[in-house]
Structure 1
Amino acid sequence: MLLINKLNNFSIISSLLDNDFYKFTMQNAVIKLFPSAKAKYEFINRGKHSFPKDFDEILKENLKKMAYLKLSNEEKNYLKKYCPYLDSSYLDYLNKYQYNPKEVNICQKGKNIRMNIEGLWSRTILWEVPLMAIISELYYKLTGAKRISDKKIIILTKEKLKKYKKLKVKIGEYGTRRRYSYQVHKLVLKILIEEGYPFFMGSSNVHLSHIFSIKPIGTQGHEWIMFHAAKYGFNKADRIAMENWLNIYRGNLGIALSDTYTSSVFFKNFNKKLSDTFKGVRHDSGDPISFAQETIKHYKNFQINPIKKKIIFSDNLDPCKVASISSFCKKKINPFFGIGTNFTNDVGLPSMNIVIKMVKAIPENKWISVVKLSNVEEKSTGKKKMIFFAKKILHL
């Protein structure tokens, strides 16, 4: 009971910017292009984790506190300086934005948690990442699992950094959503910034990037393309989503996400103009070496030199995987590695396997189920009937 009372008085999310950068870039695009669109998201417990008693009530208490978060003048000035492609109209919107806990429905039956988020897409888009960070931190606190010490975390992070430096690879930190805790996240990022030069390129967490006065990194997530499928159809979704992104950001944030409807479908949509204009692509599922081969072949077919393009890998990376991928990419294409859980939740405990995904959208006047067809079956999301339909349409 003492722990529960303590957690009810403790705010895990203390800043509106404690979120992944791509949530803000997508929110800006949604406000401009789809201001009346609605979305529904669901929590998926991939790891079949057992949640302790009253977990839902403690989670709700944390959400209530988020309603009081506001963008500070200092934070707004930081975004103006470090993210000039976010225009003043969007920053004014964000300045007035407040989380509404009524958009989130949570219930617990036994050891299972059910949760969905519903409302205007432009508003609900910010919930996913901080919600997952809260769930993760509360889970470890309430289950009483003992992590390794800060001293060991520092040593471990420095050892990984030493390996990445030896490989001479460019790395970024993408670990907000499944971090062990805010405190561990901040500690790891401090080490990466202090000792990672010139190979550490930044963090996707905007709040921590602000604290350490560095530029946040990231572009777009799967939901951007999933919504476009609901509005324009599965065959055109990748292409129109990329074209809309270019119209908003005019070449900035120019990394295309490749696996919403499998990479084979993506490359069919990634035409000469888009391949020329986007600075590179992001891999998030399936065999990374096969994807790199496919990407290089795609660029060469359009007479584009792959060495002038970036390929970002962000799927469950560790030093061993990075070494293998970077060895293959050497002198062929420019790799970049977005490392998440292995940085922010490598504390001697099993990491959580949880996601929150868009499941429905209202592009115009009715709810439409949305799906993600990853390069691997276990990362696909959506209703079975709609997955079957999408595969049939896309000839998968």
Structure 2
Amino acid sequence: MDIAGRVYNHTFKIDPIVRTLLDTDFYKLLMQQMILDLHPNTKVKFSLINRTKSVPLAKIVSEQELREQLDYARTLRFTNSELIWLAGNTFYGQDQMFMPKYIDWLRNFQLPEYDLRVEGDQFVLDFEGDWASVSAWEIPALSIMNELRARSAMRGMSRFEIDVLYARAKAKLWNKVERIRFLQTQVGDDAVKISDFGTRRRHGFLWQRWAIEALMEGIGSSFTGTSNVKHAMDVGVEAIGTNAHELPMVYTALANTDEEMIAAQYQVLSDWSDFYGERLRVILPDAYGTTGFLRRAPEFVAKWKGIRPDSKDPVEGVNEYIEWLKLKGENPMEKIAILSDGMDIDSIEKCVKLFHDKIGATPIGWGTNLTNDFAGCSPIDNDADFKSMSLVCKVTEAEGRPAVKLSDNPTKATGPKDEVARYLRVFGTEGMVEHAVKV
């Protein structure tokens, strides 16, 4: 595919940013199915949050263009072929992961309405309604905003300048592929497991596809799949994902006492396990601090398959998990630690080398630094316009109550200040370390 030519000549009709409802992350579908079954009437609010305040999105991206893309996404419906694939495919070795009741619901699903306005130099973008429906906006909203920013950066560049931009980006990515190949020779192919987690902050749909195919070609069996359901279907790889922070955030927001707040995270795990069984039992412990989560965890948590330490330094997070497993009498070599928070080629090499003989596996969920690393690639003086930003879309209310995420990195905390303070009182600050957020 001539990506540069396609980008230079693209029209809305040929290249809308979100072109199918299947262009989302796999964990969204898994969570949506459970939410529909267990919490069909829960009302929530999701909001776009730009943690990179130095990027004035409302001055970069046209509000009209943003509305056009959001409105177009609302016209999309799942196609019969997509629903047949979801219903009939095997995921994580399990047949019929998605039940007929859920497939029937998807058949008529439409993204709900949105509320968009401008405050200062930032957009305020909110989605309110039934939890299962509103949650589906997270990935398309982030994809749309990130690609509109990239398109803005390329507007005015000539055909050849864009060609050079992509040529350099391809060479930069392929250099990472070569480093992974060398890593395979050092620790063995089985110790290197990498999947694409880059949908939400990607440079663009077409570029994500190119990155996936480059990894398929370049690292062979060490490429284990993609979180993007559309790409997984089209190129025939595994769809990867389990669950996200919105589950404990909503459960905790609905709790009435301090004790119920602390118990909420473990109720999420219990519900998840009851719903999906053993194959998807991966802990996401950092919503209110990993150290406190592990210290208070019921005994059944240690039996789970593994962990995804999402906001601690990956080395610290995996070491903490290994030591906790040993205290619980569990063998770390029978567990996995999925590393997905801002992983780049340096941290991938470091973690795989360090842990390949200390824990069963360290699968890498490679996100922004795979699908949106264009730093230093532009042939003109606009490199800053291509630097990735930390843009999230989080649940901010549940049944009218504020929803809060603390994180192992307090810089990532979301929610009203008084509520963040209350959550810190309830959960404590054990193990939390503040550091800059890059992606």
Partner of 1:239: 266
Deviations 1:180-207 (A, max 9, x none): 1111111111111223211111100001
Q: Does 1:50 align with 2:49?
A: no
- Give the 5 Å matches for 1:189-268: 189-232=212-255, 233-268=260-295
Q: How many percent identity over aligned positions?
A: 28
Question: What's the CA shift for 1:53?
Answer: 6.5
> Residue 147 of structure 2 is aligned with which of 112, 116, 137?
137
Q: CA deviation at 1:212?
A: 0.6
The change in CA–CA distance for 1:8 and 1:113 in structure 2 (over 3 A counts) is farther
> Which position in structure 2 is the counterpart of 1:71?
78
Aligned to 1:34: 39
| 1:145-176 deviations in Å (ceiling 9; x for gaps) | 66653333333222212222322321111001
1:373 corresponds to 2:373: no
Alignment of 1:137-176 (within 5 A): 137-144=147-154, 148-168=164-184, 169-176=192-199
From 23, 30, 39, the equivalent of 1:18 is 23
Q: 1:183 aligns with which of 190, 200, 206?
A: 206
Per-residue deviation, 1:352: 2.1
Partner of 2:106: 94
Question: Which residue of structure 2 lines up, in the alignment, with residue 82 of structure 1?
Answer: 90
Corresponding position of 2:339: 313
2 CA distance for matches of 1:130 and 1:190? Answer: 22
1:356 aligns with 2:393: yes
User: What's the counterpart of residue 392 of structure 1?
Assistant: 425
Q: Decide whether the 8 Å contact of 1:108 with 1:114 is kept in 2.
A: yes
Q: Please tell me the residue identity of whatever aligns with 2:34.
A: A
Structure 2 gaps, min length 5? 1-7, 185-191, 376-385, 430-439
Rounded to whole Å, the distance in 2 between the matches of 1:117 and 1:8 is 25
RMSD: 2.0
> In 2, are the aligned partners of 1:280 and 1:310 still within 8 Å (CA)?
yes
- The Cα shift of 1:57 comes to 1.9
Write out per-residue CA displacement over residues 37-81 of structure 1, whole angstroms, 9 at most, x where no aligned residue.
011111111112123377222111111111221111221122121
The 10-residue stretch of structure 1 (157-166 or 131-140) with the greater mean CA deviation from structure 2: 157-166
* CA distance in 1 between partners of 2:168 and 2:252 (Å): 46
Aligned to 2:348: 322
Q: Following the alignment from structure 2 to structure 1, what is the Cα–Cα distance between the partners of residues 61 and 327?
A: 57
Please give the alpha-carbon distance, in whole angstroms, between the structure 2 residues aligned to 1:228 and 1:54: 35
1:8–1:61 contact (8 Å) kept in structure 2: no
Query: 2-side partners of 1:352 and 1:287: how far apart?
Result: 19
The CA distance in 2 between the partners of 1:130 and 1:351, in whole Å, is 17
The equivalent position to 2:67 in structure 1, one of 49, 60, 68, is: 60
- Aligned residue in 2 for 1:382: 415
* TM-score (norm. length: structure 2): 0.84
What is the correspondence of 1:281-292 to structure 2 with a 5 Å cutoff?
281-292=307-318
Give the whole-Å Cα distance in 1 for the aligned partners of 2:61 and 2:149: 11
CA distance in 1, matches of 2:149, 2:240: 28
Q: 1:335 to 1:10 in 2, by over 3 A?
A: closer
Question: 1:296–1:306: 8 Å Cα contact kept in structure 2?
Answer: yes
Q: Say if 2:117 is the partner of 1:107.
A: yes
**In 2, are the aligned partners of 1:230 and 1:368 still within 8 Å (CA)?**
yes
Inter-partner Cα distance in structure 1 for 2:244 and 2:233: 21
CA–CA distance in 2 between the matches of 1:251 and 1:309?
A: 13
Aligned with 1:323: secondary structure? helix
Q: Which amino acid is 1:176 matched to?
A: T
* Gap regions ≥5 residues in structure 1: none
Q: Aligned partners of 1:337, 1:71: CA distance in 2, in Å?
A: 30
Aligned partner of 2:424: which letter?
K
Structure 2: how far apart are the matches of 1:284 and 1:377? 13
Q: Which amino acid aligns with 1:389?
A: R
Find the aligned partners of 2:425 and 2:349 in 1 and give their Cα distance.
37
Question: Equivalents in 2 of 1:94, 1:269: separation in Å?
Answer: 38
Partner of 1:340: 367
Give the partner amino acid of 1:347.
F
- The code of the aligned residue for 1:82 comes to T
Deviations 1:313-363 (A, max 9, x none): 11111111112222221311121111101111012321122111111102x
Q: Which shifted more, 104-113 or 70-79?
A: 104-113
Query: How many residues align structurally?
Result: 386
